[in-house]
Amino acid sequence: MPEKSGPKDVFLHLLTIVTLYISAGSLITVLFQYINYFLPDDPLNSFVNREGLRWAVASLFVVFPVYALVSRYIERDCVVNPAKRDGRLRKWLLYFTLFIAAITLIGDLVFLIYTFLGGGDLTLRFILKALSIGTVTSGIFGYYLWELRRDNEAMSARAVQALRGGVLLVALIFVGAFFIVGSPFKERMVRLDSQRINDLNNIQWQVINYWQTKETLPSALTDLKDSLSGFEAPLDPETKTAYEYRATGALSFELCATFGLPSQSQEAGYAVTGPYNGEFDSWNHAAGRICFERNMDPDRYQPFEKTDRPTPKPAPIQ
């Protein structure tokens, strides 16, 4: 007769299923980013969602070991108490997991055939992503179907080896993701450089606005301080020192900053660009101290028109 499930069993089985779903989703996300990295749409530019990849890697690092440990604990508990293997709660959750895996597999196959019949471009990227979903969900489906059918006995040596192989494969995928997402130290440098570009871009437009208002370039960044708008030239996010600015002519100036990495090592689209002289002004840079020369076109950036006002007359002396 099946043994009734207590609060402890409910907690453990629900924890196992939830961590399984999170781990599967994270694993598929990592596989997708592998495909984006090694098979980019543009041969010269691979787009990798590094933010999503970091979340997936963090989830695998924390959630998957929890799933493995709790599953191992439940397995040992079922060996000691064989009646728990036929518990109603366990059977419901396992069949529900089979249902989710089966629906995902069917949907994946339907979408693949639909795309093919619709004349869609079945690229290698598309096929590999479909296979990634199919492989992960079919692996889950096969394992839990076997789990429901096996007798109340300890796992065989072959089954244990297969499970260890699966865990090892997930671990290798997890480790490999670090080569794509980059080290935390490099990521911090990328974010600092991105902030520097944003700061320089903001300063540049404040200088242009200053010239359009006063028809002269500021002599220093402190001239841009405006108590009404609240603008004050930002500082370097790491060193907290002021950026370098100097007027090199009546209509030219330069902005300088020290970068940690060359812009080519950053992910595509990370650098900020803005319209300047009718074109997109690039902030591409090497590592180290870099100065950006700016030449302003007065025909494009004309001074603001001043409102004609009557000159106030001094009050008469009484």
> What is the phi/psi pair of residue 242, to 5°?
-75, 145
Torsion angles phi and psi, residue 263, rounded to 5: -65, -25
Residue 282 has pLDDT above 50, yes or no: yes
Q: 143 and 81 in one domain?
A: yes
Q: Where is average pLDDT lowest: 82-91, 125-134, 164-173?
A: 82-91
The C-alpha atoms of residue 295 and residue 253 are separated, in whole angstroms, by 7
Range among 23-37, 46-60, 146-160, 267-281 with highest mean pLDDT value: 23-37
Q: Looking at the domain assignment, is residue 312 inside a domain? A: no
Residue 252 lies in a domain: yes
Tell me if 293 sits within 8 A of 236, measured CB to CB. no
pLDDT of 184:
81
Q: Is this prediction's pTM over 0.85?
A: no
Residue 303 within any structural domain of the chain: no
Question: SS3 breakdown of the chain: % helix, strand, coil, rounded to 5?
Answer: 60, 10, 30
- Identify whether residues 66 and 17 lie together within a single domain: yes
pLDDT, average across residues 122-147: 88
pLDDT (mean) for 65-80: 88
Average pLDDT, the chain: 82
**In the sheet where 244-247 sits, what is the strand order?**
244-247, 252-259, 288-295
Q: What is the pLDDT of residue 223?
A: 94
Structure tokens given for 201: 């871009």
Do 277 and 137 have their domain in common?
A: no
Conformational region of residue 241, where left means phi above 0, alpha means psi within -120 to 50, and beta covers everything else: beta
**Does residue 147 belong to any structural domain of this protein?**
yes
> 178 with 203, same domain?
no
User: What is d(CA 241, CA 99) in angstroms, rounded to the nearest whole number?
Assistant: 59
Q: How confident is the model at residue 277 (pLDDT cuts 50, 70, 90)?
A: very low
Are 236 and 170 within one domain?
no
Give how many domains the chain has, as a whole number: 2
137 and 264: one domain? Answer: no
Is the per-residue pLDDT at 146 higher than 80? yes
What tokens were used for 199? 């700061």
**In this structure, are residues 85 and 5 in contact, taking their beta carbons and an 8 Å threshold?**
no
Beta strands in the chain (DSSP E): 244-247, 252-259, 274-276, 279-281, 288-295
Q: Is residue 141 part of a domain?
A: yes
Q: Give the model's pLDDT for residue 26.
A: 92
Residue 163 domain-assigned (yes or no): yes
CA distance 267 to 220: 33
Estimate to the nearest angstrom the gap between the alpha carbon of 219 and the chain centroid: 40
Q: Are residues 151 and 196 in the same domain?
A: no
- Contact, 261 vs 287, CB < 8 A? yes
Amino acid at site 275: P
First-to-final CA distance of the chain: 112
Residue 25 shares a structural domain with residue 46: yes
Residue 11: half-sphere exposure toward Cβ, Cα within 13 Å: 4
* Same domain membership, residue 163 and residue 207: no
Tell whether 307 is covered by a domain: no
CB 3 within 8 A of CB 123: no
**Which one is predicted more confidently, 121 or 247?**
247
SS3 259: strand
Within this chain, do residues 146 and 226 fall inside the same structural domain, yes or no?
no
Looking at residue 272, what is its pLDDT? 36
Assess whether 193 and 157 both reside in one domain: no
Q: Which one of 149, 182, 215 terminates a domain?
A: 182
Domain of 166?
7-182
Contact call for residues 285 and 259 (beta carbons, < 8 A) = yes
The tokens for 51 are 């933010």
Do 217 and 160 fall within a single domain?
no
Tokens (6 digits) for 94 = 């396992």
Residue 144 covered by a domain: yes
Question: What would the mean pLDDT of 158-169 be, rounded to a whole number?
Answer: 83
